Structure 1
Amino acid sequence: MELIIGGAYQGKLDYLLSLTGYSKDKVLDVSNIELPIDANLLLKELADRPILYQFHLLIKRLLEQDLDPYPLLDQLIHQQSEGKELFIICNEIGNGIVPMLPSDRYYRETLGRILCELAKESKRVHRVILGIGTIIKED
């Protein structure tokens, strides 16, 4: 598993496609995936399209519907333990002004904790700024 993080519109997807040589048909955009998530169906989709894109929006939607995002985290970590190829692209939302709404603060904190777990389990973590990627962790 590899985690690719960076600010909004910083070229994370283009960076990863260039790095891997994959085309956009290998991208699974989860921003509009049907909820609640069928984990088995998601894992089946990831077998054909190993780039999980817009992960932050999926977490936001889960929280907005009072669904627990941690079972999904467990499934993704399990995917990693089986050695299956997986790339997770996610916006960094922890920088800047602390949100006023408690729900927005909870989302920001929850996503941050989930990303910490994913980073710990990932073999590589990339940070992308202005389309330029830097590997910040490599096992």
Structure 2
Amino acid sequence: MHIYIGGAYNGKRKYVKQYYQSYRQYVFEGEIPESSAFTTQDVVIVGRFEQLVQQLIHLTEDEVVEQLMEKLGQLDKVATLVCVCTDMGRGIVPLDKEQRFLRDTCGRLYQAMFAYSHQVTRIWYGIPQVIKET
């Protein structure tokens, strides 16, 4: 799994689409597709993790992270998985309980994703900076 993270409208998707332009790309926003639909020749790009977390707001943070990581892990086994993540935190704590849950759960999910992934790249206004590579 390769993760691209950055602030909103920092050029993450544009960079990813250009980087993988010579591959067959499938883009999913706010959903993780079933792994059986893809092969090792495919690049599956998943974004809008905050929407995925919002759909699972009835679960605990740990349950959300476990469920989403299981799906991502299955998909990563059959295709080149690219995750586009929006940095939501930056130290600002929302007053609204649901918004805090969203921010906190995305933070925990991103920690799990970063630990699992082989490469993490921060995109800052279209400029890539590799922050993890194994």
TM class by shorter chain equals 0.7 to 0.9
1:75 shift after superposition: 2.3
Match of 1:50 in 2: 44
1:20 shift after superposition: 1.6
The count of residues paired between Structure 1 and Structure 2 equals: 128
Q: Is the 8 A contact 2:2 2:83 kept in 1?
A: yes
Q: Indicate how the Cα distance of structure 1 residues 86 and 25 shifts in structure 2: closer, same or farther if over 3 A, else same.
A: closer
Q: Indicate how the Cα distance of structure 1 residues 115 and 45 shifts in structure 2: closer, same or farther if over 3 A, else same.
A: farther
Distance 1:29 1:44 in 2: 18
Q: Is the 8 A contact 1:46 1:52 kept in 2?
A: no
Q: Indicate how the Cα distance of structure 1 residues 20 and 130 shifts in structure 2: closer, same or farther if over 3 A, else same.
A: same
User: 1:86 is paired with a residue of what secondary structure?
Assistant: strand
Q: Which structure shows the higher strand fraction?
A: 2
State the AA in 1 paired with 2:4: I
Percent of pairs with identical residues: 30
Distance 1:14 1:88 in 2: 13
TM-score normalised over the length of structure 2:
0.81
Q: Which structure shows the higher helix fraction?
A: 1
State the AA in 1 paired with 2:47: Y
RMSD: 2.4
The CA deviation string for residues 37-90 of structure 1, in whole angstroms up to 9 with x for no partner, is xx7x53245655600121222212322xx144221212213443x363100111
1:119-134 correspondence to structure 2 within 5 Å: 119-134=114-129
Q: Indicate how the Cα distance of structure 1 residues 19 and 27 shifts in structure 2: closer, same or farther if over 3 A, else same.
A: same
State the AA in 1 paired with 2:130: I
TM-score normalised over the length of structure 1:
0.78
Q: Indicate how the Cα distance of structure 1 residues 92 and 124 shifts in structure 2: closer, same or farther if over 3 A, else same.
A: same
1:12-27 correspondence to structure 2 within 5 Å: 12-21=12-21, 26-27=26-27
Gaps of 5+ in 2: none
Match of 1:95 in 2: 90
State the AA in 1 paired with 2:35: L
State the AA in 1 paired with 2:2: E
User: 2:89 is paired with a residue of what secondary structure?
Assistant: coil
Distance 2:23 2:75 in 1: 22
State the AA in 1 paired with 2:85: C
